Amino acid sequence: MTSIQESLPFKLGVLRPGMAAEVIGLNLNQAIDDGLHQIILETFYKFPVLVFRDQTLDKRSQIDFSEGFGALEGHVNRDFRSDGFPAVHEVSNLDLNTGKPTAKLENRGNYHWHTDKSYLLTPSLATLLHAVTLPPEGGDTQFAHMGEAYDALSNEKKDEIASLRMVHSWEQTRIKSGSKLATAQEIEDAPPVVHPLVRTHPETGRKCLYIGTHASHAADMVRGVGEALLEELQIFATQDRFVYSHIWRPGDLVMWDNRCLLHRATESYDMAKHVRLMHRTVVRGDAPV
C-alpha cells in the first residue's frame, strides 16, 4: 500500500493504482459538510473504489453520509429492504424464512458480475456497503474496471461496438442468475430499458463498457449474436488484470462507482455456517450517454 496525502483532511492509502484506495482518519458518524463531501467526490473520481476504514455506522448514519452525494434509490426487490429504513438494503446469506445462514439463496444476483441498477433509466452513481457481520475469512468483493477494459480493446473491436445499445432487464437478470423469478410488481416497477454499450463517465470523460448480468441482449442485433457479444466482452473485461479483490475488515464502508465498474460477491466461505451481513445504500445517478 502506498500512502498519499496531497493536503487531504484524511490519510489516503493506495490499494490498487488508479482504482482503489483506503481512507483513514474520518469518523463518518460525525457531520460531513458539503466541502468535505466534495473532497471525497474528487478523490472518488481518481479511485472509484474508496474504502473507509474503522466505521461503526447505524442505518441512520449511513443514510446521512450517503445522501451527501445525492438522492438515494430504493431496491426493486423488497426482500432487501430493512424495517424502518427502506433506503438501506440488507445484503446477507440469511434464509428469508429461518433467519439462519444458508448457501441456498433465493437472491443470487450479487454473485454475478453486474453494475447496480443498470436496469433503470437512471442507474446508480455509487453504492456504499458497510460490513456489519463478517465471516472469519473469505466473502471478498471483486471489482472490475470497465474503463481499463475498454482501453485494452483492439481498435477494430472499439469500432464494432461504438454505436451499439444494450437492453438491461431486471426480469432477465433474475433468470440468468438463477434467482427467485421477478414478480409482476417488480416487472412493472422496472421494465426493460436500453443503454449504450459504451458509456462516457460524466466526470472523467473516460469511455467505459457498460455491461454485466443485468444486460440482456443487444437492441440492434439478432438476439443470439448480441448475447454472444456480451459474453465475449464480459469474459474479456473481468480478467485478473482489470480486477481488485477487496478483503473485508470489520467496520469497512466501501463506496464504489457503478458508472465504470462491475462487481460481484464471492462465495469463498462456509455460507451454511457463517453470517455475512452488509448494509447497502445506493445513490441515484444520471442516464448513461
**Structural domain contains residue 289:** no
- pTM, two decimals, is 0.94
**Structural domain contains residue 171:** yes
**Structural domain contains residue 213:** yes
What domain range is 192 assigned to? 2-284
**Structural domain contains residue 267:** yes
The CATH number for 10's domain is: 3.60.130.10
**Structural domain contains residue 182:** yes
**Structural domain contains residue 45:** yes
**Structural domain contains residue 190:** yes
Query: How many distinct structural domains can be found in the chain?
Result: 1
Provide the grid cell at 43: 478523490
In terms of phi and psi (left: phi > 0; alpha: psi -120 to 50; beta: otherwise), the region of 70 is: left
Distances (CA, A) of 59 to 87, 247, 273: 9, 22, 25
**Structural domain contains residue 152:** yes
pLDDT in tens, the chain (289 residues): 666 666 788 999 999 999 999 999 999 998 889 899 999 999 999 999 999 999 999 999 999 999 999 999 987 876 655 577 889 999 999 988 888 999 888 777 788 999 999 999 999 999 999 999 999 999 999 999 999 999 999 999 999 999 999 999 988 888 887 878 889 888 888 899 999 999 999 999 999 999 999 999 999 899 999 999 999 999 999 999 999 999 999 999 999 999 999 999 998 999 999 999 999 999 999 999 9
Rounded to whole angstroms, the maximal C-alpha distance in the chain is 53
